[in-house]
Amino acid sequence: MTKPAILLIYTGGTIGMMADKISNALKPISHHNLLQNIPEISKFNFEVDIVSLPNPIDSSEMAPKHWVEIAEIIGNKYEQYTGFVILHGSDTMAYTASALSFMFENLSKPVILTGSQLPIGFIRSDGRENLLSAIEIAAAHRKNRPIIQEVAIYFEYYLYRGNRSTKFNAEQFEAFDSPNYPVLAEAGVNIRYFDNLPPKHNPNKFVIHKHFSNEVISIKLFPGINSSYIKTILSLENLKGVIIETFGSGNAPINEMFIGLLKSAIARGVIICNVSQCLKGSVNQGQYETSIILEKIGVISGHNMTFESAITKLMYLIGQGYSNSKVKTLFQKNIRGELG
């Protein structure tokens, strides 16, 4: 059996933070200080190495350039390591996990993101268990292949598919959920993987796509939203894609003004996508009168994608320079396990 070798990629986040002496606000420290707090890492009977982004950040500052930095580290070390663990702030972890899932074509190794709600230096930190279990998951093999061959998030005893996850709790240790997809594994005394099938062999070459468009925006609807503000957004120069966060199963106001604005944006080539504000369930354009018109004018459905997945997918697809019709087709199709 291949001996596991795991690369930790430190990007910042609470797990590696310390309180500033003057303001008392938490800010990232270096990965050397972080490791000093988890001596247990040296007890794994396989290699665990660590690299850091040049400037560790609070994940609220995460941007596509960091996704590219992380992806390049993985790309350069892909053959050398059997699995990767990314230490990341929880605030935007679901966005990074979604973005990486789209960037990585034919991924056949585990890429596990984890972090914590309390810094590793705090006595009650959740970071120790999260990190050690994430390493164990990244190293887990069955029939000489990694059990997990995708981008996933490990947090507080559960492993979630990355592009199905969302942060829903800023207070409790259980911060994540994947409302439209079952958990991949649960850590108790043993780590239980829910797919008992032998891991698949993907013979195709691992490819990394590095381009994202930032010519996208989202509009969260609410009763009483000002149409003239929507008009201003939809008339932005260079705007290529919009996620409309709708009500329930994809419903929206159907007054002439609102529908007219969407229609003229679509006519100008702007791709308008419908994603529900509800965490669980799916957009179903046509179920109600308040959504059938959206379907008719060419708004495309985000089905049951999380917002994080939908926006990063749109940024990714437009970033590839595909035609509008290809972006629309792929957006509605399951390309990395993100919908359905």
CB 90 within 8 A of CB 13: yes
CB of 91: closest distance to ligand ASP in angstroms? 3
Q: Which two tokens stand for residue 243?
A: 């996620």
Q: Rounded distance, CA 139 to CA 38, Å?
A: 18
Q: Rounded distance, CA 332 to CA 340, Å?
A: 10
Q: Which one of 2, 11, 14, 312 is the catalytic residue?
A: 14
The C-alpha angle with vertex 321 and arms to 301 and 245, in degrees rounded to 5, equals: 25
CB of 14: closest distance to ligand ASP in angstroms? 3
Question: Tokens 């990314």 belong to which residue?
Answer: 86
Q: Which amino acid is at 166?
A: T
Q: Which two tokens stand for residue 242?
A: 């919009």
CB of 176: closest distance to ligand ASP in angstroms? 11
92 labelled catalytic:
no
- Considering the complex, state which of residue 117 and residue 251 has its C-beta at the smaller distance from ligand ASP: 117
Question: Tokens 């000093």 belong to which residue?
Answer: 36
Task: Count helices and strands (H / E) in the chain.
Answer: 9, 20
- Considering the complex, state which of residue 11 and residue 149 has its C-beta at the smaller distance from ligand ASP: 11
- Considering the complex, state which of residue 15 and residue 252 has its C-beta at the smaller distance from ligand ASP: 15
CB of 90: closest distance to ligand ASP in angstroms? 3
Where do contacts with ligand ASP occur on this chain (CB under 6 A)? 13-14, 58-60, 89-91, 115, 117
- Considering the complex, state which of residue 14 and residue 251 has its C-beta at the smaller distance from ligand ASP: 14
CB of 133: closest distance to ligand ASP in angstroms? 17
Residue nearest to ligand ASP (CB): 89
* Length of the chain counted residue by residue: 340
- Considering the complex, state which of residue 15 and residue 234 has its C-beta at the smaller distance from ligand ASP: 15
Task: Collect all residues with Cβ–Cβ distance below 8 Å to 290 and sequence separation of at least 6.
Answer: 251, 252, 253, 254
* Active site amino acids: 14
